[in-house]
Amino acid sequence: MTRTRSDAQRPRRSRLAALRPLRSLRNRVTIIFALIVAGAIGSMYVYVLPQLEEQLVAQKLDRLERDAQRFSPSLEGVVFPGVEKSILNRRVRAAAARSSAEVTVLKLVKGTRNQVYVAADSNEGGVNLEDVRALGEQAALRRRRVSATQPTSVGRRALAAEPLLLGKKVLGVAVFVDALTEVQANVQLIRRRILVSGGVALVLAALAGYLVARALTNRIKRLEQAARKVAAGDFSNPIRADSDDELGRLAAAFDDMQEQLARLDTARKQFIASASHELRTPIFSLGGFLELLEDEDLDEETRAQFLAQLSGQVARLRKLATELLDLSRLESGAVELRRRPTDVGRLTRDVAGEFTPAAALHEATVELETGPRPIRCLCDPERVAQVMRILLDNALVHTPTGTAIVVSAGRQNGEVRLEVSDSGPGIKRQTMPHIFEPFYTSADGARGAGLGLAIARELAEQMHGDLSVQSVPGRTTFRLTLRS
């Protein structure tokens, strides 16, 4: 018979199905609670109860030894040869009554050192000679008190044997015997109560563990469902912290993350929409100019104007693509900084010189305030120059014709500060928080991709610096701070 692959996998699937309940946190917590209680009950049953029984038996033996030491002297005077047996029996019964134990007096067999026989017994029909012989002979041989527990014909008993001496001569042995029934009954009672109470505690612990675990797993499931919705792009269901414990703090952190992701998702959609708009405008413009250039009746002057417009739109697309790539690399952390000692004063003068033609076209004046001494700083000169170019371009694009621009560099409080100031109309208060956002266009209606300041802020942060702005009517200053 051929065994198919599904048949071979069936036992494995059965084992996995059997283990599946253990994958549940609720079941595992319940089992852990039950195992802890079961372990506590087991340790009491296996370790504590035997110790308790040993202690109770030891107390019983200790009491018997004290009774043997206390009442044996009254028997020493009546074990001489020739003393009437009735007197010995009376003394034995009195010792038994006072000690609450069975007392047996053993005498040595003549001609032997330690062989004994029963001379008197307070409870005839109780323990017999065979039950006490070994302990009695051991006490006679050692000439000192001996105690032990051992099985007898009437059950397990505690025994204490005291030698009866006349000087150094052993005349006999008094054996005090007491039942261990009470000890065993007490231990059995405790054992039953432990089992009953332990069983109840085990059920309650399992139930409590199940309820606690269910409450925890319900809260975790709520977070799981919310996480799946967030993964699917649904940010409309906030998770409110319902407690101040670890899960409550986790829910609060998750809620904060969801809000941030919602803001990022909104910003991403706005970014894509703005980028699409910025790309669509020059592309449509290029398409329109190309259709116009296909007209054979165009004169050379009009054709040259159209080509100039095409060149401008291509330059705009090139700048937009470059800025999009730069911003993407900055946000992904792919930009590598090459720090080296740099004279940022000279770097500022070089960058400002690059904008002389653009400033002339804008009818603007660019003033330099760098001082005569070098301004040394450990930085990436290419990235610093890129930020300065963005700030100068921003000042020329978003200010009226003829605006004065001041570029300055200096050191203050151990920091290098590069500033680009203009005497334009300033930035409105309501737009100030948004000027570093991608695709922001100034409120004065000036055209632009709106990525320059966002790239400058990212570059400043990559260099562990800061880019800030202060603006009032007639004075706007962008400041790049580098910590050397």
C-alpha span between 230 and 236 (Å, rounded): 9
Reduced to 3 states (helix: H, G, I; strand: E, B; else coil), residue 19 is: helix
pLDDT, position 398: 84
Beta strands in 280-403 (DSSP E): 340-343, 365-369, 376-379
C-alpha span between 345 and 464 (Å, rounded): 19
C-alpha span between 214 and 369 (Å, rounded): 70
C-alpha span between 92 and 90 (Å, rounded): 5
Phi, psi angles (nearest 5°) of residue 178: -135, 145
Q: What is the pLDDT of residues 389-427, one digit of tens each?
A: 989 988 888 888 888 999 999 998 889 999 999 998 888
Q: What is the pLDDT of residues 310-352, one digit of tens each?
A: 777 777 677 767 767 766 676 666 678 888 999 999 999 999 9
Residue-level length of the chain: 484
The rounded Cα 259 to chain-centroid distance in angstroms is 23
Burial of 213 (0-12, 13-18, 19+ CB in 10 A): buried
pTM over 0.85: no
The dihedral built from the CA positions of residue 22, 24, 25 and 30, taken in this order, carries a sign that is: negative
pLDDT band at 5 (very low <50, low <70, confident <90, very high): very low
Q: What is the pLDDT of residues 66-123, one digit of tens each?
A: 999 999 888 887 877 777 888 888 998 999 899 889 999 988 887 666 688 888 888 8
Q: For strand 466-472 and strand 475-483, is the pairing parallel, antiparallel, or unpaired?
A: antiparallel
pLDDT band at 2 (very low <50, low <70, confident <90, very high): very low
pLDDT, position 165: 86
The rounded Cα 186 to chain-centroid distance in angstroms is 47
CATH 1.10.3720.10 fits 246-330, yes or no: no
Assess whether pLDDT exceeds 60 at residue 447: no
Over residues 160-169, the mean pLDDT reads 86
The C-alpha torsion from 18 through 201 and 50 to 183, rounded to 10°, is -140
Q: What is the pLDDT of residues 245-303, one digit of tens each?
A: 777 788 888 788 888 887 777 766 666 665 665 666 667 667 776 777 776 667 777 77
Reduced to 3 states (helix: H, G, I; strand: E, B; else coil), residue 374 is: coil
pLDDT band at 476 (very low <50, low <70, confident <90, very high): very high
CATH 3.10.20.30 fits 77-179, yes or no: no
- The rounded mean pLDDT for the chain is 81
Alpha helices, DSSP H, located in 72-142: 73-76, 85-99, 129-142
Assess whether pLDDT exceeds 50 at residue 18: no
Residue 161 Ramachandran class (φ > 0 left, ψ -120 to 50 alpha, else beta): beta
Q: Provide the percentage of residues in the chain whose pLDDT is more than 70.
A: 84
Q: Which amino acid is at 464?
A: H
Over residues 131-156, the mean pLDDT reads 88
Looking at domain 335-483, its CATH superfamily turns out to be Histidine kinase-like ATPase, C-terminal domain (3.30.565.10)
pLDDT, position 416: 92
Higher pLDDT, 457 or 437: 457
pLDDT, position 175: 92
pLDDT, position 272: 66
Reduced to 3 states (helix: H, G, I; strand: E, B; else coil), residue 142 is: helix
Each domain of the chain, given as residue ranges in start order, spans: 20-71+180-228, 77-179, 246-330, 335-483
Assess whether pLDDT exceeds 70 at residue 444: no
- Total Cβ atoms within 10 A of residue 280: 10
Higher pLDDT, 21 or 419: 419
Tokens of 124: 């005839």
